[in-house]
Structures are given as structure tokens and as C-alpha cells.
Amino acid sequence: MTIDPLGDSALIVRIDDEFRPDASLNAVLVALRCLEAAELPGVIELAPAYTTIGVFFDPARVAGFDELKTKIERALQPSVEPARPRAETGSVVDVPVCYENEFALDLGEVAEFTGLSEEEIVQRHSSASYRVHCVGFTPGFPFLGGLPAELATPRRATPRKEIPAGAVAIGGAQTGIYPRKSPGGWNIIGRTPLSLFDVQREPPALFRAGDRVRFRKILREEFERSLT
Amino acid sequence: MNVLVNSAGFLTSVQGLGRTGYRQSGVSIGGALDTHALRVANALVGNEDAAAGLEATFGKLRLRFEDERIVAWCGGAFSARIGDEDLPPGHPGLVGKDDELLIVAPSAGSRAWLAISGGLDTPVVLGSRSTDLRGNFGGHQGRALRDGDFLPLRDVDLETAAPWKDRRIAEFSAPATWASTAKRDRFLRIVRAAHWDFFTSDAQAALVSAQFTVTPDSDRMGARLDGPVLERIEASDLLSEAVAPGTLQVPPNGKPILLLGDCQTIGGYPKIAHVITVDLPIAAQLWPGDAVRFHEIPLAEAQELLREREDDFARFRVGLTLHAR
């Protein structure tokens, strides 16, 4: 573990040197719970992502970088192991997806790149099990690990100017869902009627880092029924 | 009571100190790009630090008030008037019922923060009244102001807030360096970032010696800079990790982006440096075509400068209570 400054009011705790899909995520989640439980004075919020946790603090309430670093190291010491919270396994979120043509704008391109038929892509995408590695890019956007390797497809050379809310997409070795209408470069293979981000909810994002996700293929009628 | 937006100007939005606690949902901190300027303006009108005010970009803002209010603004080299009377930056002024407050385009800098006594009473969304312009929530209907908007104001007792109100514009003011933040020589102090060593020694030297120019595709997310290409020793992909306002990240084209308040919560580009917090007010004034240079200081000094400013601000607040007596 190393700790780097992130400017004068934040720092980054590096939990793992390289990303190991489940192990890194579990280690980050354990560390996140430890830091939350430690309630270090002056710490405002924590931002986990893949192998790191961003720690944002109020410099007026922290003596200095080194002091906070020491406190964080102490909070994350393996010697306090018995008291350490376990990584939450996370919720399991069932995500209905309509993969029909009008929603699967780039399914043809993915088929061409992977050499698989469109049916096979849908079948494999909807039978794999995924995990939320982090939430970001736009409010509520989940970066999901666990995409079957044969479905990996590079991002589009030219990003689309407008991707509809709920679009399920493949970008490189990851898959994700666009919470709202936005530009984006990932390959769209379907669409979910779920609302991924809602300021009336607490927390507003449907997904949290560590959650497990399964995609369930639905027909157009169910998609439309769920929307209303 | 309300304030009527007669002219919304180029880009004006309701902003407070931003939104914390929702980075794990991917929500940016947002808020006033220069939170210090907003806090100073709020202090001048008797508001708490976090009261919601307006961030005006490039001016052309005209407001009409339904009741008597104290107003104050800080930021770029704008000129502002209440009716025919000049309202200099950092001075509280009194607007009467049906008076018009005008903020015209600046001669330097790009943004101004206006505080109104009582503060704007737009709904609190995810703990803040700030507008998230990318997420379209918070502030006034989650969007920039338009001509004809009515903005609700919280009630306020003017008698206690402005005992000087036999004059229209108060004689006292905030320190000039806080009230007027547009600079002719834009030197931004930086500290090294986690990926400093990923860059060539030429890139490191260029960052602190060359001049960079703000490009037109800059916005509240970040100021994009043109200048020498900052090359990495070897190109490899990084995992996305937390970024913050002030982060200087370098995409593959080697042209740095200085992240501002609306920046994403996480980013995958390498970070070469961070602009220190006390210099973010200068960064918040950058406008396409502006030249900017960077100067490296140690991290401990950056934190000391911030603590000093906070101490000065606390003294400033105490001093204002004397004026109000």
C-alpha cells in the first residue's frame, strides 16, 4: 500500500499495485469500510475506484499530509485484522435488458469484431456474472468487470454524440450502462428500462462499487411496460 | 420574495459551495468554481458561507428585486451597477424594491459570484443548492438561468444585516485581492502529482517554464491548455482513479487539462501536477486565449498558504461584525 498526495486537500491510498478483478475490489472495499469506521477528523469523503481510494479532507482540520497518512496507515493496519469488517459481498442487482435491434445500435459491429453471431453475443452477455468496479464518468455510470473475454470490443473510433439513457454498452474489456442521455464511445448492444440515477433516492446511484450484476434478456413489451 | 432575471447573460447558474458526500455515486463536487469568492461575497451580505448565490459567466446579467436586499459580488474585472450607481467588487450595496442590478461583460477574467442577503431558496438536492449543469439537477430546475426566471429568496432581517444602510454602497470592503481575482500575469502555483515521474524531464521542465494558452473548448469541467506537448516516458493505460478540481491531467495528445469544479469524480489520464487550492480563484477566471504559467512549490507550503487564508477569512468575518454594529 502506498499513499500519494492528490493536491493539497486530498490524497490517494493505493491498495493494490495491479488490478485483480475480485481480489483488488474486495481489498478496496475492506479498506473503505475501515476508513469509514475510523472517522478520521477532517476527512470529508472517500472515493473508491478499482485499486485506490481517494480521500478528500479539509486542510484546516488536518495538521499535514504526513499526519493524515500515518492515521490512515494505522486505520488500515493488518494487525487490527480481527476487528476489520469483511468486504461486503454487495447487493445483487438484476438488470433487465432489451437487446432487440432498435436498441442494439452497435450489435452488428460487435458481431463483426468478435466473429460471434448476434444471438451468441446476447446469450453470453446475459448469462455472465458481473461486478461493479467503480461508479463514475457521469453520475451513476457503473463500470462492470466480468465481461466474457470473447465479447471485448474496442471503443468506437468516433464517439456517438448522443446515447440514450439506459443504453447497455461494451467498451474494451468492460461493460457499462449509460445512466442518462449523453455522448459516448462504447458499443451499444441493448437498453435497460431501469433508472440508474435518481436524486430522489438515497444513495442516488442504483449501483455501488462491489455490487454484483446480472443482465436478463427481456422482450420489447416488457421494456415498454417497465418504462411506464 | 423573488428576484426576477431580466437578462440571464451568457451562462449564469445558482451555485453554493458544491456537493460533497456523493462521489461514490459519481456526482461531481460542482458549486462555485471559486468557492472563496462566494464565501467572501456571502460574508459581506451577512450570509453563512454556504448560502447559494449566482455564478455569472461573462456578465450581461440583469436582475430585478421584489424587496430590499444587500448584495455583493467578487470575481473578474466586471463592472456592476445598482440603478445608475457603481457597485465595486467586494463592497456590500443595497438594492431597493424594483431596483435593477446589472453586471456587464468583464475587461479581464470571466466569472463573478453574486451573493444576495438571505441567499437563494432553490431546493436542496443531494445536500446542496448548487446547480449540477451536467447532471441537470439542483439549482434552478437543474439548468442555467434563462431570461424571465423567478428565483426565490430566503427571508432576511435587513435592520440587523445593514446598519450602514443610510448609504447605498457601503464604504468598507473585502481585501482587494479577494474581491478582484482576474490577474494580468497568471501564475498558478502547483504541487507534483502522483504521475509526475511518468513524464520526461523535458515535459517536467516545460510545465514550469513554458507558457500555456487556454483553448476555446474549455468549460466548468476544465480548462484545456495549448502549449508544449507533455510527453510520457512510456505510454501505458492507467486505471481510473480519483481526481479533484486543480488536477492537471494529460491525455495522450500531451496537452494538459486543468480540472475545475464540474470535473468527473474519477479519471484515467495521468496527473502531472495539481494547482494549489488558494490559486483556484485565478484558475476560475481563465478564458479562451488567456496565457498561464505554472510555478512549483512544496506541498507543505501549499497547505500552509491555505491555512493562512482560512485564518485571514475567519478574521475578516470577525471584522465584518464590527461594521455591522
Look over chain A and give the mean of its residue pLDDT values, rounded to a whole number: 92
Q: Which three cell numbers stand for residue B246?
A: 486543480
Q: How far is A117 from chain B (nearest CA, A)?
A: 30
Return the higher-pLDDT residue of B171 and A7: A7
- Specify the pLDDT at position B260: 97
Residue B167 has phi, psi (to 5 degrees) of -110, 160
Cβ contact, residue pair B135, A180, below 8 Å:
yes
Q: Does position A78 have pLDDT exceeding 80, yes or no?
A: no
Q: Does position A179 have pLDDT exceeding 60, yes or no?
A: yes
- List of chain B residues whose C-beta atoms are within 8 Å of the C-beta of residue A53: 242
Q: Is A130 on the interface with B (CB under 8 A)?
A: no
Cβ contact, residue pair B244, A10, below 8 Å:
yes
Q: Could you give the ipTM of this predicted complex?
A: 0.94
**pLDDT category, A204, cuts 50, 70, 90?**
very high
Question: H/E element holding B75?
Answer: strand B69-75
Cβ contact, residue pair A59, B306, below 8 Å:
yes
Query: Mind listing the pLDDT tens digit for each residue in A21-47?
Result: 889 999 999 999 999 999 999 999 999
Q: How far is A58 from chain B (nearest CA, A)?
A: 10
Beta-carbon contacts of A176 under 8 Å, excluding residues fewer than 6 positions away, are A137, A141, A142, A143, A144, A168, A169, A186
Return the higher-pLDDT residue of B161 and A182: A182
**pLDDT category, A85, cuts 50, 70, 90?**
low
Cβ contact, residue pair B20, A203, below 8 Å:
no
- CB-CB: which of A4, A48, A139 is closest to B194? A4
Cβ contact, residue pair A8, B132, below 8 Å:
no
On whether the CB atoms of residues A37 and A85 are closer than 8 A, the answer is yes
- List of chain A residues whose C-beta atoms are within 8 Å of the C-beta of residue B264: 136-138
- Specify the pLDDT at position A83: 53
Q: Does position A84 have pLDDT exceeding 60, yes or no?
A: no
- Specify the pLDDT at position A81: 53
Pick among B137, B141, B266 to test the A interface (most A CBs inside 10 A): B266
Pick among A8, A13, A25, A46 to test the B interface (most B CBs inside 10 A): A8
**3-class SS shares of chain B: helix, strand, coil, % to 5:** 20, 30, 50
8-state DSSP, B103: E
Cβ contact, residue pair B25, A138, below 8 Å:
no
- Specify the pLDDT at position A64: 86
- Specify the pLDDT at position B167: 79
- Specify the pLDDT at position A79: 61
Q: Is B312 on the interface with A (CB under 8 A)?
A: no
pTM: 0.93
Cβ contact, residue pair B310, A60, below 8 Å:
yes
Cβ contact, residue pair B241, A52, below 8 Å:
yes
Beta-carbon contacts of A188 under 8 Å, excluding residues fewer than 6 positions away, are A103, A104, A105, A106, A107, A160, A163, A167, A168, A169
- List of chain B residues whose C-beta atoms are within 8 Å of the C-beta of residue A209: 24
Residue-wise pLDDT tens for chain B (325 aa)? 899 999 999 999 999 999 999 999 999 999 999 999 999 999 999 999 999 999 999 989 999 999 999 999 999 999 999 999 999 999 999 999 999 999 999 999 999 999 999 999 999 999 999 999 999 999 999 999 999 999 999 998 776 666 666 778 998 999 999 999 998 889 999 999 999 999 999 999 999 999 999 999 999 999 999 999 999 998 887 889 999 999 999 998 999 999 999 999 999 899 999 999 999 999 999 999 999 999 999 999 999 999 999 999 999 999 998 776 5
Nearest CA in chain B to A209: B24
SS3 of residue B146 by DSSP: coil
Cα Rg for chain A, rounded, in angstroms? 20
Residue type for position B127:
G
Q: How far apart are CA B316 and CA B318, in angstroms?
A: 5
- Specify the pLDDT at position A183: 86
User: Judged by CB atoms within 8 Å, which residues 228-257 of B form the interface with A?
Assistant: 239-244, 246-247
Q: Is B196 on the interface with A (CB under 8 A)?
A: no
Q: Is A36 on the interface with B (CB under 8 A)?
A: no
- List of chain A residues whose C-beta atoms are within 8 Å of the C-beta of residue B270: none
